[in-house]
Structure 1
Amino acid sequence: MTVTTPLVFDGHNDLLYALGREGRGTVGRVLTGRRGAIDLPKARAGGFAGGFFAVYVPSPEGLADRFEEMEKPAYDLPLPEAIDWHDAWPVALSQMAILFDLERRGALRVCRSVAEIREAMAQGQMAAVLHMEGAEAIDPDLDTLEILYQAGLRSLGPVWSRPTIFGHGVPFRYPSDGDTGEGLTDLGVRLVRRCDALGILVDLSHMNMAGFRDVARHSSKPLIASHSNAHALSPHARNLTDGQLEAIRDSDGLVGLNFAVAFLRSDGRMLPNVPVETLLRHLDHLIGIVGEDRVGLGSDFDGATVPDCLKDIGALPVLRRAMADHGFGAELIEKICHRNWLAVLERSWGG
């Protein structure tokens, strides 16, 4: 095993949002190198094969002040206001256009099946699965969901950390658990069932406890939290309790380890001085409950403050070496890096 293998297929990144903020003129830098976490030179250096590329509609108030608040020993940030789908739709289209621009430029390949992901990985192309983090851009009749599916949408979080017409998000609150309010609305139940029928996985990250239970009740698919950590080690509202992890295990689902430092640290603070051993402790805990076949990576690169030692995808060899030094065998490391993600997508999408 070299430091750039096995390849990493990642459960969550925010490159599209980052490029939208930086300006469309910066898209080409993904091919040549950019200051952010994800680009082709770093992908080659780090053995990054792609993953879920999120479309995210930001709240008007922004995130800078919120991240500063999360550096404190305790915090309870109010949920942002809901965003109407008429306002969200153009933002979502703009970020999707960036994704397809990247595909035209040869930076990545948009994949709609596991077979296409495997083919892209085998050919050395960055595999991109279109994901939506929050369903603000979907209308009450779900017509836009049909259009988005045809465009390539294969993963959807009904909420980010604010309410939608489909459900209620979990706040950025520490210390807390996710028992923070109501779950899915009636429209949210319709959305989950339609996603099941189409072959769009329903992402449980950012769902509160009630929403998590509602998805488990109404979905026939594996339960998947693309970028969430262990509440037992970091008692943040965004993290998963052992009971939730057991439900993921029992559904033959998956949890992707989030690199965002506030969800890794036992003190819940958004500070980047986090050693790689902290990620290993979370992996140990997750594996101990859900098993070796149901844990992957969900970095949150380009969308969160991550550990100094894992500042971008070029640093992924640090994590591989740490897992090997920790005693993880080559097969387990390969499962965590990409095999478990591909297997659960086959179970969820049907191939």
Structure 2
Amino acid sequence: MWIDGHLDLAYNASLGRDLTLGLGALRACDPVEGQTATVSFEELRRAGVGLCLGTLFAAPQTNDHAGYTDWRGARAQAISQLEQYQRWQDGGFIRLLGSGAEISAHAAKYDQHPGDPAASPLGVVLLMEGADPLRDVDDLPFWHKEGVRAIGLSWGKTRFAGGTAAAGPLTERGRELLAGMRELGVAQDLSHLDEQAFFEAVELQPRCFASHSNSRAVLKLGSAEGNRHLSDEMARAIGERGGIIGLVLVDSFLKGGWTLGDPRVELQQVLRHAERYAELIGWDKVGLGSDLDGGFGNEKTPLGIDQASDLGRLAEVFPDEARDGVMGGNWLRWLGANL
């Protein structure tokens, strides 16, 4: 069973995409323009992806998007996405998983029935990407009860910490939230967290991983322009705490300076990021965090990855002895031990 550490399934549904369709049918009626869809439940099953971290992602207001402006608006988006996951579970398309025992049982059943969606639907562990849907730390038990097992404090800047393209340290709210997460056993996703907040955050909640983050050194970026990516020191800090780092499959995060219209990046470039992490923290702490449905289509994916079922081509680039771990075994071990 392969595991993807980061998919924005319910957010895509909020855009009008019906992931219960086959990919061809989805593309034929796709309401999202300029992003050729790569992910549906059928595609993930064809790929052998039996489990993922599925996000609750509340989109903030921007010049181009009418998103949330306060925690109430963020909460409304996250609740709507939570209800979508619950409807999918009721329909038999996914199975929400909230403990290591449930994950182990799901993996065993999937291995027995890998091609049968009725017997082994996609397992989903809920990950909140950006903590603004929480009113404050006292709201954390509600989300834990609803199945959220990991939270990333930031996407862009939030009330809790600086994030992508929005530098800043942890706030006092952020410190309180991390303390509450540690007490409840809610893991911390470090992807998108700005470096000014990162090193304090891993001390406050060391049960951590980076669901979808590539190597700043491979991209040859400095800390300012590369704050979306992990420095070697950040990667080592995750590895020292036993965490996993998921590799992102978007060309601009694989090759520095890549822009739409350039030739698509070769799969060997994914291997370069993986090798950098393996050198720093070991192959056993490298995983997949494709983000294949994260606001881009196959126009921006590596050459050969036109849809989720092409992930087998990615698997072929990893060393034989590391392949099973990177494609799922490392995440399975970490989730089984930490949820």
| TM-score bin (small chain) | 0.7 to 0.9
Q: Match for 1:154 among 139, 149, 157?
A: 149
Pair 1:273-2:264 in alignment: yes
Pair 1:307-2:302 in alignment: yes
Pair 1:225-2:210 in alignment: yes
Structure 1 residue 308 displacement after superposition? 4.1
Distance 1:239 1:154 in 2: 23
Q: Match for 2:13 among 13, 19, 34?
A: 19
TM-score by length of 2: 0.85
Pair 1:201-2:200 in alignment: no
Q: 1:33 to 1:103 in 2, by over 3 A?
A: farther
Distance 1:44 1:346 in 2: 21
Aligned to 2:115: none
Distance 1:169 1:187 in 2: 15
Kindly provide the amino acid, as one letter, of the partner of residue 273 in structure 1. R
Distance 1:106 1:184 in 2: 40
- Counterparts of 1:15-94 in structure 2, within 5 Å, are 15-22=9-16, 26=18, 28-29=20-21, 34-35=26-27, 36-61=37-62, 83-94=69-80
Query: Residues 103 and 336 of structure 2 are in contact (CA less than 8 Å); yes or no, is this contact kept in structure 1?
Result: no
Kindly provide the amino acid, as one letter, of the partner of residue 102 in structure 1. W
- 1:233 match: secondary structure: helix
Q: 1:110 to 1:63 in 2, by over 3 A?
A: farther
Kindly provide the amino acid, as one letter, of the partner of residue 284 in structure 2. D
Deviations 1:164-186 (A, max 9, x none): 22111121xxxxxxxx6321111
- Equivalent residues, number: 310
Q: Which structure 1 residue ranges, 5 or more long, are not aligned? A: 1-6, 65-79, 172-179
Q: Which moved more, 1:33-42 or 1:104-113?
A: 33-42
* Identical-residue share of aligned pairs (%): 28
Aligned to 1:283: 274
Kindly provide the amino acid, as one letter, of the partner of residue 304 in structure 2. C
TM-score by length of 1: 0.82
Pair 1:296-2:287 in alignment: yes
Aligned to 1:137: 133
Task: Compute the RMSD of aligned alpha carbons.
Answer: 2.3
Structure 1 residue 39 displacement after superposition? 2.1
Aligned to 1:169: 163
Deviations 1:94-131 (A, max 9, x none): 11111111111111100001221232233332110111
- 2:294 match: secondary structure: coil
Structure 1 residue 50 displacement after superposition? 2.2
Query: Residues 33 and 42 of structure 1 are in contact (CA less than 8 Å); yes or no, is this contact kept in structure 2?
Result: no
- Counterparts of 1:111-126 in structure 2, within 5 Å, are 111-123=97-109, 124-126=120-122
Distance 1:185 1:13 in 2: 27
Deviations 1:315-345 (A, max 9, x none): 111112222xxxx12x411111112112222
Q: 1:148 to 1:33 in 2, by over 3 A?
A: farther
Kindly provide the amino acid, as one letter, of the partner of residue 201 in structure 1. A
Aligned to 2:243: 253
Query: Residues 249 and 302 of structure 2 are in contact (CA less than 8 Å); yes or no, is this contact kept in structure 1?
Result: yes
Distance 1:82 1:94 in 2: 13
- 2:338 match: secondary structure: helix
- 1:96 match: secondary structure: helix
- 2:228 match: secondary structure: coil
Distance 2:263 2:131 in 1: 30
List 4+ stretches of structure 1 deviating above 4 A: 30-33
Kindly provide the amino acid, as one letter, of the partner of residue 276 in structure 2. H
Query: Residues 261 and 272 of structure 1 are in contact (CA less than 8 Å); yes or no, is this contact kept in structure 2?
Result: no
Query: Residues 54 and 127 of structure 2 are in contact (CA less than 8 Å); yes or no, is this contact kept in structure 1?
Result: yes
Query: Residues 187 and 205 of structure 2 are in contact (CA less than 8 Å); yes or no, is this contact kept in structure 1?
Result: no
Kindly provide the amino acid, as one letter, of the partner of residue 273 in structure 2. H
Kindly provide the amino acid, as one letter, of the partner of residue 197 in structure 2. G
Structure 1 residue 286 displacement after superposition? 1.0
Query: Residues 251 and 302 of structure 2 are in contact (CA less than 8 Å); yes or no, is this contact kept in structure 1?
Result: yes
